[in-house]
Amino acid sequence: MSEYKMPKLGADMEDAILIEWKVKEGDRVQKGDIIAEIETVKGDIDVEVFEDGIMEKIIAQPGERLPVGTVLAYINSNGKTTPEEDPVEVPPIEEPAPTKIPEEVPPKKEPILPPKPTEIPPIEEPPTIIPSPGVPEEEIPDIPAIPEEVPFTEEPVEQPSPEEFPPMEEPEIPPLPKEMPPRIIPLPTEPYRPTFRHNASPLARKIAKDLGIDLAQVKGTGEGGIIHKIDVERFANSVDNKEDSRPTIKEKPKVAKDRKVKMRTAIAAAMSRSNQEIPHYYLETAIDMQKAMNWLQTENEQRPVQKRLLAAVLLLKASALALQKVPELNGYWEDNRLNIQEGIHIGFAISLRGGGLVIPAIHDVNKKSIDELMNNLTDVSERARMGKLRSSELTDGTITITNIGDRGVAKVFGVIYPPQVAIIGFGKIIEKPWAENGMLGIRPILTATLAADHRATDGRIGAKFLSTLNKLLQTPSEL
Q: Which residues bind other proteins (CB under 8 A)?
A: 165, 168-170, 172-174, 184, 192, 201-206, 222, 226, 228-229
Smallest distance, Å, CB 18 to other proteins? 29
Q: Is 184 or 261 the residue whose CB approaches other proteins more closely?
A: 184
Q: Are 58 and 72 in contact (CB under 8 A)?
A: yes
Smallest distance from the beta carbon of 65 to other proteins, in angstroms?
Answer: 34
Phi/psi at 30 (nearest 5 deg)? -120, 150
Looking at the Cβ atoms of 45 and 207, the one nearer to other proteins is: 207
- Which residues have C-beta within 8 Å of that of residue 405, sequence separation ≥ 6? 412, 426, 427, 428, 429, 446
- Smallest separation (angstroms) from other proteins to the CB of 417: 49
User: Is the CB of residue 119 less than 8 Å from the CB of residue 113?
Assistant: yes
d(C-alpha 346, C-alpha 374), whole Å: 13
**What is the C-alpha to C-alpha distance for residues 415 and 417, in angstroms, rounded to an integer?**
6
Under DSSP, is residue 289 helix (H, G, I), strand (E, B) or coil? coil
For other proteins, the closer of residues 190 and 251 by Cβ is 190
Please report how close the Cβ of residue 241 comes to other proteins at its closest, in angstroms. Answer: 23
Q: Which is nearer to other proteins, 183 or 242 (CB)?
A: 183
**Beta carbon nearer to other proteins, 194 or 247:** 194
CB of 228 to other proteins, least distance (A): 5
Instruction: Kindly tell me which of 117 and 174 has the beta carbon lying closer to other proteins.
Output: 174
The closest of 26, 73, 56 to 193, measured between CA atoms, is: 26
Contacts of 2 (CB under 8 A, 6+ apart): 51, 53, 74, 75, 77, 87, 88, 90
Of 206 and 407, nearer to other proteins (C-beta) is: 206
H or E element at residue 394: helix 391-395
Half-sphere exposure of 178 (CA within 13 A, CB side): 0
Q: How far is the CB of 242 from other proteins (least distance, A)?
A: 26
Give the residue from 288, 312, 416 showing the smallest Cα distance to 365. Answer: 312
Min separation Cβ 203 and other proteins, Å: 4
In this complex, which beta carbon is closest to other proteins, that of residue 204 or of residue 263?
204
Q: How far is the CB of 161 from other proteins (least distance, A)?
A: 14
d(CA 403, CA 382): 16
Is 427:81 a contact under the CB 8 Å cutoff?
no
